[in-house]
Amino acid sequence: MRAFVLTGPGAYAVQEVPVPVPGRGEAVVEVERVGVCGTDMEFFTGAMAYLHQGHSSYPMRLGHEWCGRVARVGEDVDPAWVGLRVMGDTMLGCGACRRCSRGHQHVCETRQEVGIRGGRSGALAEQLAVPVSSLHVLPDSVDAALGSLVEPGGNALRAAQAAAPGSGDRVMVLGPGAIGLLTALFLRAAGAEVHLMGVTDASLAFARTMGFEHTWTEHTVPDLPFDAVIDASNAAHLPGLALELVEPGGRLVCIGLAGEPSRIDTRTLALKDVTAVGILSASPGLEATIRAYADGVVDPRPLIAATVGLDQVGEVLAGGRPFDCGPGPKIHVDPRLS
């Protein structure tokens, strides 16, 4: 089968690789759609921390935001899985440690991450092998576009829930990228007044096309009380700004990751009685995200700018935009396209 293989920083090829064989407890999925993520771009540049910590190494097959149809299953798997449309959890815990036993497999010390960590191949290929325990069935109303947005949506849903907005609460989201906009959609669905802060006119203009009227740059943020502030950016200084902006007694949520350490003044955190929450992984939010998409509570399809084939992935990872793509921040890949 064809697969996109990253062989080193900036080095890649679409290769013919062996078709995966499902192991015990595994399913092989025919991949329908894959989202390209900022994490994938960090692996492309060589900046991703896992490369330097020994959790990942080249060559590797990227792709952790995906959906598809089960083609075959291994031993100890119910054959009824065959033919079902599914998406999969990125985080694969060991299943035996204290964290896994408490339902926190997404922070298991020895976890694999599909397309990211521990040598587990990702979905930028025609087929993918994963544990059946990681799969979530997609209803007919969740098409391929939505199915491959479940994983980032689960992260965003958890960030929105961590902000704990009440109806009419005012929430600021720092960073109008894919995660920031998905978070904003879930916040709006919860009844919050959503504000977005960004850098470029284009990103803020796109946010307004999605119905978010309150868009700002760092220098134009109004003097308003924000009941929660969510940092969905990659700027090291913005968690500090988030703490300045949030109301006393409010909530500070960090889901963005900067390339260098971020610092906040814990004296301010304590004196303002702010609750600070970090979010890693969509795992606990996947089922709720599927339901939200299926019921039309949120519709993230406008985020998708284009869908390309495997041969165009390298250009996308290098920061290129496909010809005639839309204004959204998300590029999808259909491995079946030539």
Q: Residue 40 domain-assigned? A: yes
Q: Which residue has the tokens 């998300």?
A: 330
Residues 137 and 162 in one domain: no
Q: Calculate ∠ Cα 198-163-167, nearest 5°.
A: 100
By three-state DSSP, how is residue 252 classified?
Answer: strand
User: What integer is the mean pLDDT of 135-164?
Assistant: 98
Beta strand pairing status for 170-174 and 193-197? parallel
Q: Residue 126 domain-assigned? A: yes
Q: Is the pTM of this model over 0.85?
A: yes
Beta strand pairing status for 170-174 and 135-137? unpaired
Q: Residue 163 domain-assigned? A: yes
Residues 86 and 58 in one domain: yes
Q: Residue 284 domain-assigned? A: no
Residue span of the structural domain in which 232 resides? 156-278
User: What integer is the mean pLDDT of 274-278?
Assistant: 98
Residues 67 and 175 in one domain: no
Compute the distance between CA of residue 308 and CA of residue 331 in angstroms, rounded to an integer.
8
What is the pLDDT, as a whole number, of residue 194?
Answer: 98
- What share of the chain has pLDDT > 70, as a percent? 100
CATH number at residue 253: 3.40.50.720
Residues 13 and 38 in one domain: yes
Compute the distance between CA of residue 230 and CA of residue 245 in angstroms, rounded to an integer.
10
Residues 12 and 143 in one domain: yes
List the structure tokens of 150. Answer: 């479940």
pLDDT tens digits, one per residue of 214-263 = 999 999 999 999 999 999 999 999 999 999 999 999 999 999 999 899 99
Q: Calculate ∠ Cα 139-143-145, nearest 5°.
A: 140
CATH number at residue 27: 3.90.180.10
User: What integer is the mean pLDDT of 201-210?
Assistant: 97
pLDDT tens digits, one per residue of 91-133 = 999 999 999 999 999 999 999 999 999 999 999 999 999 999 9
Residues 112 and 14 in one domain: yes
In angstroms, the Cα distances linking 269 to 6, 173, 202, 242 are 42, 18, 33, 11
Q: Residue 338 domain-assigned? A: no
What is the pLDDT, as a whole number, of residue 259?
Answer: 86
Within 10 angstroms of residue 192's Cβ, the number of other Cβ atoms is 23
By three-state DSSP, how is residue 264 classified?
Answer: coil
pLDDT tens digits, one per residue of 30-77 = 999 999 999 999 999 999 999 999 999 999 999 999 999 999 999 999
What is the pLDDT, as a whole number, of residue 223?
Answer: 96
Q: Is the pLDDT of residue 338 over 80?
A: no
Judge contact between 327 and 181, C-beta under 8 A: no
Q: Residue 223 domain-assigned? A: yes
Alpha helix (H) residue ranges in 164-285: 178-189, 201-209, 238-245, 266-271
Residues 75 and 19 in one domain: yes
How many structural domains does the chain have?
2
Residue 22, H or E segment? none
Compute the distance between CA of residue 289 and CA of residue 148 in angstroms, rounded to an integer.
11
DSSP 303: G
Residues 145 and 8 in one domain: yes
What is the pLDDT, as a whole number, of residue 123?
Answer: 98
User: What integer is the mean pLDDT of 153-157?
Assistant: 98
Beta strand pairing status for 85-88 and 65-73? antiparallel
pLDDT tens digits, one per residue of 294-324 = 999 999 999 999 999 999 999 999 999 998 8
User: What integer is the mean pLDDT of 194-220?
Assistant: 97
Q: Residue 103 domain-assigned? A: yes
Q: E strands, the chain, where?
A: 2-8, 11-16, 26-35, 65-73, 85-88, 91-92, 112-113, 127-131, 135-137, 170-174, 193-197, 214-216, 226-231, 246-254, 275-278, 304-308, 330-333
DSSP 221: -
Residues 140 and 186 in one domain: no
Residues 6 and 144 in one domain: yes
What is the pLDDT, as a whole number, of residue 257?
Answer: 92
Q: Residue 295 domain-assigned? A: no
Residues 98 and 138 in one domain: yes
Residues 51 and 171 in one domain: no
